[in-house]
Structure formats: C-alpha cells, structure tokens
Chains A and B, each alone.
Chain A
C-alpha cells in the first residue's frame, strides 16, 4: 500500500452515485479500506513541495488565477490568519506564526521561509494576503461574501480547478456558479446548500467531497487552458487497458467549508487528490465499487463531468477481474 493510497479520500459509500447536500462536520477521521483521512482541516502530505511549486508556475503564467474584489480585503486577511494559525497548530515543530502588536512573523521550515509582515498591510506580503496564503497550502481557496440573502464568490486563488474558472466566476452568486450542473437545481440541492452555508456561525467547520476523473496527474484543469488537457480526454478512450489504467485518474476534492470569525466570509478550501485506476485497483473493494459507480452513472452526470467518452472503458477495466 502506498502512502498516497493510505490517505486517499475514496469518496464512494455505495455502488451508485448521485448529487446530494453531502456535508458533514470537519475533523472527523474516516476509515477507508486502505487507511484513513480527514483528521484535520489541512493535509500537508508528500506532495506539499511539488504542488506548491506547480501553483507558483501556474500563477506565473496566468496571474488572473488570483481574484480579489476590493471589499474582500478583510476576508483575505481573516483567511490568512485562520489558515496560517491552523497550519502552525498542526505542525508546531515546523511552522509558527508569532505576533508582536501589528507585526507578524511566519516561519515555515518545510519551505525554508521566514516571512515578516504587517497586519492589514497588503503590500507587506508577496501576492497580498490571499496570494501568499496560496503559497503555503495545497488547497485552492474561494472566499464567499454573504449579503442580500445570498453568497457571492468574490475572491479566490484557484490554480487546480476541475474545468471551471475563478476569473469567470468571480463576483457571481453561489447559485450562478453552480448553474451548469445537471439535476442539482431541480432537486433543490444548491439552494439547500447555500442556506446551510449562510447559517454557519463564526468558527463552524464542515466538509464534503466531490469527484471527477482526469487524464494523467494534471492538477490544473482550468477552463482557461482547456486546449491543453481537453484533447487527452478524447484520445484516452482508444488506449489499451494498461495505458488506460495508468493514465486515467479518479480525481477527488475534499472541500472544507469554514465560517471565518471576523469577516463573516465563508471560506472554501478545495484540496485535490489524484489516484490512477491502476493504483485504485490495488485495493479490491475500491476497484469494484468505482467500477460499479461508473457503470451505473446516468448519462447527463457523466456528460457534465466530461467522462462520457471513456467511462465505459474504465468501468469495464475495473470490473474485468
């Protein structure tokens, strides 16, 4: 069993999958057939260095992956304090956040950095508070403002999107962001989720999982660069079994939903995990369950997730033994 699989948040609890308002309290460990996950809000793992380097490279090519509407400054600072504080609490031997009046020092031995900054002064941090935070955690971050009876996606740093775009979504209502998802509106799932989020009280933390599939270990599947990754989804359908199993990945997002204390914003932390079919198949229960989920998945859901061309082949491979 690889370390990666031991911490993999395998998302399926049954042989069929449908959308639901699947939120549960955060920080509760989940036992899986291969290990466990979910003890903390943040998961610093073996991919920490490489994934942060990849985020930096994506931002370098396309700085618009970081979006902050001006009224979200307090929320960005709130997110920074909350998440750096959480990192330091989880890894006291390697990270610390010290405050002397308005002056702060962030030390992160994993990255070998010591960053001094002034509370509330955007210019004192490279990338500003949200940009800097994105250089310290593997999660994508979206901050939602609450007003006029709605949530608004008004800030975010998103480099590992699964076919969506922060630049396109910034300033939209929560309901608008989820406009294209089939079924969920008729079933009231998104408005229920929004109401749930709007009622989160300061400091409350929940989580949910979401999933799709991707070709190769490619985290950045933003809509902006569709031409770079889209064609692979067509080509993989013709691959032989070995290549299919090696290149096709189950892509799972663990999303933490946190009501920030001071700003009142809702923080989405979106952490993406990838495991190839070949890796998954080393856990027999996962191989069988994922195979059945894929085989049964209704056409419109498979189509929306972009799985329509290869999910049949993937299901057949998984269920072959």
Chain B
C-alpha cells in the first residue's frame, strides 16, 4: 500500500513553508478525493500525514506543503531537506476529510498551514460548480497559496491576519449561511476549537461540521496500566507517557500501525476484558467495548486483556 515517488520540484512558497511536488516515474498516480492525505516516511521510522493540495482527478503529481517545525520530532525538517530527484516513500492517499456531496453550500475555514486541504476542496468545488466560500486566517506575510486562491475564488475568499477581525468575520459567516451548508475547518487546535464552539452557539448541528486535525491533539501521558496478552499469556507494562503500541513493540509484539494518531484503524486490537480509555477517532460507538486503537488509547482499568 505504499508508493515510491521522486521529488520533482521543491519550492519555498512562504517563509518556513516548502511545497513538494512528488511524481511517479513508473506509472500513474492513484486519484483521491479532496481533503485526502498521504503518510510520508520521514526517515528514522517517522511518519507524518500531509494533505494533498490538488483536485485529485487523474493527478500528474502529488503536491504537499510542509511547515518547518523547529522543535518537532524532525519529520518536517526531513521534508525540508529533500532535493529534486530524492526518493520518497508515501502511503496511497487516505480520505478522512472529504466534501459532503449533498451539501447546499461549502463554508471552508483555514488557519495558517491548515490551508492545504482547503485548496483541494476549493478546486473540487469549482470543478463541480458547488457553492463555496473560504475564510482564511494567517500571520502577516505568511500566507501560502493566498494569491492562487484569490485567482480561483475572487470575492468568495476572505482573508484576515488579525484574530479579533477573524472572530467577527467568522461570526458573520456562521450566521449568513443558508440551511444545508456544511462547514470544514483545518488549522491549529485553538482555532478549530473556537470555530466549533462558535458554530455550535450559532445553532449548527454537529453533522454539518467537519474538522481535520493536522497536528494530532496533544494527548496527556495517561496513567500506567498492564496489558495482559491472552494468547501468549504475558503481561506488558505500559508506563505513563508510553503508548500501548510502543509498549507492545518494545516487548517484541508485532502490531501493524500506520498513522499513530487514532485515525487510520491499522493498529486495532481486540479487547477481551478490562475497560479501554478510548482516544481515537476511528472506532464506532458499538465497537468500543471490544476493541482498542493501541496507538493513542489506553486503559481505564489497571489491566486490559487483549487478544494477542
């Protein structure tokens, strides 16, 4: 399920933000829906998810834009260090933030580098004549794709660099939409929380709100527990601050994993006894009693018996 791609172009499109154009010399690239991402292998076992900015119909390249995070785990620095001709391994596109086909209207809200999936949403909306507008808040002088979006959207793009002004624009946008509008938001955590709170206060039902967390929600380290491996009759100690997935790997137990953010569903493990502390966005409500996503979730009980 991975693609071996080559860097066709790399360009700094805003201070600290680099756009990578990835091509596939030996074949066509799979199409993808707006809002899809790829997981990029960033060396030393690091894997980061990045949104694809193209429209996704018969793509000739995959384009991602990466903000350099100096105190991160090195994944963004790795991407910034890539040069034309370098090989990159990425997952096939994964869709977790698609447009809703029945929406009467699409209200997009982006903060900073959270603009990347919105660029794809804008292109898809224009391709299919879907009513769309974009509210884009960014720091002065750091506005990736602002010019391109202005060309695509005209006065359907509203930009702001001031938090107070953004707040007023958001309030207005939330109250002016016709019934049946869907809202999509991507940006830093506080921005998304604000949009969701204001939308709820303005009477938006949760089914019409869609969010993409480009930085996984910071999870608290959680308390320690014991994972009881039923099949191999072993106990694995999971300390505070260590994920169940990492603890299992350290104990030599192979569990497939992908996003490590509780989104993709790869690392699902059946639960036999104990009560999981779910922190994922993958499992349905009726699956939560007998499965756990071990990359992010932990245990409410002192011991969690799993089918491994």
Interface residues of A, Cβ cutoff 8 Å to B: 71-75, 78, 81, 99, 120, 145-149, 195, 199, 201-203, 261-264
Contact = CB atoms under 8 A, between A and B. Distances in A.
Contact of B207 (A120, A145, A148, A195): A148
A294 to B, nearest CB: 35
Contacts of A263: 33, 101
Instruction: Please provide the 9 A-B residue pairs with the shortest distance between their CB atoms, ordered closest to farther.
Output: A261-B31, A264-B33, A71-B101, A262-B31, A203-B30, A264-B98, A262-B57, A71-B102, A262-B56
13 contacts: A74-B128, A99-B58, A120-B128, A149-B284, A199-B265, A201-B92, A202-B33, A202-B92, A202-B95, A203-B92, A261-B31, A261-B56, A262-B57
Contact of A261 (B33, B101, B284): B33
A146 B207 CA distance: 13
Interface in B75-94: 92-94
B102 A261 contact: no
A250 to B, nearest CB: 36
B94 A262 contact: no
Contacts of B128: 73-74, 120
A172 to B, nearest CB: 14
Nearest to A75: B101
B100 interface: yes
Contacts of B102: 71, 145, 147
Interface residues of B, number: 24
B265 A261 contact: no
A202 B93 contact: yes
A203 to B, nearest CB: 5
B44 interface: no
Interface string B228-246: 0000000000000000000
A73 B93 CA distance: 22
Given A203-B93, A262-B124, 20 more contacts: A74-B128, A78-B31, A99-B58, A145-B101, A146-B98, A147-B102, A148-B207, A149-B284, A195-B287, A201-B93, A202-B95, A261-B30, A261-B31, A261-B32, A261-B33, A261-B56, A262-B31, A262-B57, A264-B33, A264-B95
B168 interface: no
B90 to A, nearest CB: 13
Contacts of A75: 101
B122 interface: no
Contacts of B7: none
Contacts of A81: 57-58
A205 B31 CA distance: 14
Contacts of A262: 31-33, 55-57, 124
Contact of B32 (A73, A120, A202): A202
